[in-house]
């Protein structure tokens, strides 16, 4: 199989892509929106069921969106028969392309019965389907939020809670205890490689694969860590953002970080449609420099977009995903 450019977007719900039309700025059409894109496919997960947040009874699904298709019609990937679809509750996702043969692997955080495990699939491009290869469970992967793949069966993952008990989880957040962590997994070893986070959330990697970025959500910051040969992570810096940043996407060309953020955590978890949670998108340029440039690219009070959780760019266009609402595409210029 030839090379296929795929961007993984760790979106909890892109419902507008699959049940409605994309929300866009009035001056844009869908054809114009992606006319200059160099990316072929965008992978999206939907159907997250998370305690305290709105959700549907539909099982989780994985879709692809061909950004060169003028109709922007999402395609649901066929799941294998040997996989339990009824309990599929996808959260963070990551894509790894094997450099030896261009095989594409999809890593999905799954919460069946609100437990945590990682599913590894092989992407079958010609058949628009996924082949389930492995389910990974481990005592150190007890409350996984997001994952970034670094090999065919290896990855870094964030745990967003220290406790398993729901009452203690709530207390942990209320007291803002810095007890969550990042875990490295491979078939040979599993270990905690970074800790001390106030709800470790999104995780991603620099284009040169030297640095790992972690959203320290209740500390209102992003942590930068250097990846060592033994897969341990050494702290480099913490970049304050003044917002509750959820997932991290990295521009493969510029290395810029794009973050979907929550303006008000109380409005997100105590959802009131009359007073909805807002959305904010932040861009970080030159994050490794002494003076990173932090820019608020988009903000809304919730009337247009509720609970932005992720953002990524395609040729001057911005795609924003949310926890349970719709998606928004707009022109960065």
Residue 2's pLDDT is 44
**Structure pTM?**
0.86
The alpha carbon of 35 is separated from its chain's Cα centroid by a whole number of angstroms, namely 25
Please report whether residue 244 resides in a domain: yes
Please report whether residue 19 resides in a domain: no
Please report whether residue 7 resides in a domain: no
CATH of residue 199's domain is 2.120.10.30
Please report whether residue 5 resides in a domain: no
Distance CA 198, CA 172 (A): 9
Buried-exposed string 42-53: b where 16+ CB fall within 10 A, e elsewhere: bbbbbbbbbeeb
Distance CA 250, CA 193 (A): 21
Please report whether residue 12 resides in a domain: no
Please report whether residue 11 resides in a domain: no
138 catalytically annotated = no
Minimal CA–CA distance to 249: which of 4, 3, 6? 6
CA distances from 152 to 21, 101, 104, 156 (A): 35, 12, 9, 12
Residue 24's pLDDT is 39
Residue 91's pLDDT is 86
Averaged pLDDT in 10-residue chunks for the chain of 333 residues = 46 38 33 30 62 64 70 78 87 90 91 92 83 96 95 97 81 86 97 96 96 96 97 97 93 92 84 88 96 94 87 78 78 75
Burial class of residue 291, CB neighbours in 10 A (0-12, 13-18, 19+): exposed
Cite the annotated binding site for Ca(2+) by residue number.
93, 145-146, 201, 246-247
Asked if residue 46 lies in contact with residue 29, where contact means CB atoms within 8 angstroms, the answer is no
Of the residues 91, 111, 262, 325, only one is catalytic, namely 91
Residue 63's pLDDT is 78
Look at residue 207 and give its three-state secondary structure.
coil
What's the total number of domains in the chain? 1
Residue 41's pLDDT is 60
> Structural domain of residue 31, as residue ranges?
27-331
Furthest-apart CA atoms within the chain: distance in Å: 53
């Amino acid at each position: 199989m030839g090379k296929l450019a795929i961007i993984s977007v760790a979106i909890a719900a892109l419902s507008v892509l699959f049940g409605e039309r994309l929300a866009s700025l009035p001056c844009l059409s869908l054809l114009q929106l992606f006319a200059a894109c160099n990316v072929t496919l965008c992978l999206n997960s939907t159907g997250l069921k998370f305690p305290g947040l709105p959700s549907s009874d539909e099982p989780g699904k994985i879709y692809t969106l061909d950004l060169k298709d003028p109709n922007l019609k999402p395609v649901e990937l066929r799941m294998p028969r040997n996989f339990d679809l009824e309990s599929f509750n996808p959260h963070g996702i990551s894509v790894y392309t094997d450099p030896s043969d261009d095989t594409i692997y999809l890593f999905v955080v799954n919460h069946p019965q609100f437990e945590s495990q990682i599913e590894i699939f092989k992407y079958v491009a010609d058949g628009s389907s996924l082949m389930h290869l492995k389910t990974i469970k481990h005592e150190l992967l007890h409350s996984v939020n997001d994952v970034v793949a670094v090999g065919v069966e290896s990855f870094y993952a964030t745990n967003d809670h220290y406790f398993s008990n729901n009452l203690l989880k709530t207390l942990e957040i209320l007291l803002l205890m810095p007890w969550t962590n990042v875990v490295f997994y491979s078939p040979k070893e599993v270990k905690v490689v970074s800790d001390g986070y106030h709800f470790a959330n999104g995780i991603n990697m620099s284009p040169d694969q030297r640095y790992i970025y972690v959203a320290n959500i209740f500390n209102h910051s992003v942590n930068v860590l250097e990846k060592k040969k033994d897969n341990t992570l050494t702290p480099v810096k913490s970049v304050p953002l003044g917002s509750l940043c959820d997932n991290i996407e990295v521009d493969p060309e510029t290395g810029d970080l794009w973050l979907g953020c929550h303006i008000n955590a109380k409005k997100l978890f105590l959802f009131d449609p009359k007073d909805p949670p807002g959305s904010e998108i932040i861009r970080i340029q030159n994050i490794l420099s002494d003076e990173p440039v932090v820019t608020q690219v988009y903000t809304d009070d919730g009337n247009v977009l509720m609970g932005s959780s992720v953002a990524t760019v395609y040729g001057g266009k911005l795609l924003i995903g949310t926890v349970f609402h719709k998606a928004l595409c707009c022109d960065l210029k």
